[in-house]
Amino acid sequence: MAVWIDLFSRRVAGWMLDQQMDATLVIEALSRSLGHRQVQPEQLLLHTDRGSQYRATDYRDLLKEHKIVWSMSAKGCCWDNAVVESFFSTLKLELDLDDHREALISPQQLQRDLAFWIEG
């Protein structure tokens, strides 16, 4: 899952779920967030960790195309990504998605649960 959180409103601006965490996933989530925001892309500052999906050429080209300023965490520094880590922790707790879950749910059910929890 890729998620973009607006730090001003503390709301999810865009998200996407897929089987792979790659540049396509984060680009789709970002595209969704750009469609929902009432701010011009060149006014945005995006911050991510150092995952390969955020260093991919297609992702960086999209940021350049929209004149979006971007930054990345320093190597070994998890504290500046605490908002997203907290979001995922709360999400897993509220949707009972930890490793001790008794029954697995289908990807379609997970998609519905996420949509309801995030957007509902």
Q: What angle do CA 104, 96, 50 make, to 5 degrees?
A: 95
At 106 the pLDDT is: 87
Other CB atoms within 10 Å distance of the CB of residue 88: 12
At 7 the pLDDT is: 86
Complete domains list, the chain, with CATH: 2-119 (3.30.420.10)
| Residue type at 71 in one-letter notation | S
At 104 the pLDDT is: 78
For the chain, list residues with pLDDT below 70. 37, 78
Angstrom distance (rounded) from CA 112 to CA 105 = 11
Global pTM reads 0.84
At 113 the pLDDT is: 94
How far does CA 24 lie from the centroid of its chain?
A: 12
At 120 the pLDDT is: 84
At 80 the pLDDT is: 74
At 99 the pLDDT is: 73
The CA-atom distances, in angstroms, between 13 and each of 16, 33, 75, 108 are 11, 5, 26, 21
